[in-house]
Amino acid sequence: MRIVVLSSSLYSETACAIAARLAESGHLPVGALALSTLDSGTVLRKLGQWGMREVLRYARSKLVPHPGGVSARLRNPYLQPFLEHGDGAFRSLREVARWYDFPVAACHDQNAPDSIARLQGWSPDLIIFAGGNILRSQLLNVPRLGVLNVHLGLLPEIRGMSTLEWSLLTRVPAGVTVHYVDAGIDTGPILRRYEFPCAADCESLSDLRNRLIAFGVENLSDVVSSLDCGTISATEQVGLDCDSQFFVMHEWLQARAAERLTKSCVNRVAAQAAVSQ
């Protein structure tokens, strides 16, 4: 199966982990297309998500050797098993590409004509979306099978943004959904839904998010293997008429979601203590 990875940046840890995990599982990508790291849209998006201090820390971890070991260089330590190689860890898609010998290219718009031409030249059966632009129909039509995404929420219940917080507030189990991307917002056919069994062990929303990302990388590989063997088929989403799409939530609601996660963690610890007595 010919697979291409799309990434929001050459330095995306998630995209690097996906590409490396696919290669290790026997599904070597035929190419990767990433948005330019210095592209203004990419920089502004990361500043909005992380803030200036975290962006600078992340850039330093990718560009300057760190004496604290592999985990100290990673924003998401749960991706370490996928990124480790030799005596270090992959810091960019170019490093992954050199190690596994596949081409990688940078662009300013994944939907641009030159990007589409490059993707068509790779003749992918499947494209894995690991971040970037909102994908347009011309790109979605390039791969034979379609474009896959790992959504950090259970579809169709939790669509859109702030998926972890909305899952906690609506009491929908935390999890990931591997689905095809279509023209809607998280409305494409579903291949697999995976509930995350360790949400109550997480110390914070960021900890839960990082664990879910790693959980998604692992399960994505299994879905790709099943697609390659022809043992899996997609199911259309139902119940979309009520449109349960969520948007970025207010800080007050984020705090309530964090409190609910903390409470579940405390209850778990108390239950374990009661059992051990």
Give residue-wise pLDDT tens across range 48-71.
655 676 666 656 665 665 544 454
Look at residue 277 in the predicted model and tell me its pLDDT: 60
Tokens representing 33? Answer: 């297309």
Domains of the chain by range and CATH?
3-276 (3.40.50.170)
Q: Measured between alpha carbons, how far is 122 from 2 in angstroms, rounded to an integer?
A: 8
Contact predicate 184/159, CB 8 Å: no
Give residue-wise pLDDT tens across range 169-205.
999 999 999 999 999 999 999 999 999 999 989 989 9
Look at residue 68 in the predicted model and tell me its pLDDT: 46
Residue whose structure tokens are 């991307």: 181
Has residue 164 got a pLDDT over 70?
Answer: yes
Q: Measured between alpha carbons, how far is 141 from 229 in angstroms, rounded to an integer?
A: 22
pTM: 0.87
Residue whose structure tokens are 């474009």: 147
Lowest mean pLDDT, pick from 25-29, 159-163, 189-193, 245-249: 245-249
The residue-averaged pLDDT of 235-246 equals 79
Which is more confidently placed, 239 or 226?
Answer: 226
Tokens representing 129? Answer: 């979306």
Look at residue 249 in the predicted model and tell me its pLDDT: 82
What band does 269 get if pLDDT is binned at 50, 70 and 90?
low
Listing DSSP states for 100-125 in one string gives HT--EEEES-TTSHHHHHHHHHH--S
The residue-averaged pLDDT of 13-35 equals 97
Give residue-wise pLDDT tens across range 81-137.
999 988 789 999 999 999 999 999 999 999 999 999 999 999 999 999 999 999 999
Look at residue 272 in the predicted model and tell me its pLDDT: 65
Nearest alpha-carbon partner for 126 in 104, 143, 102, 103? 143
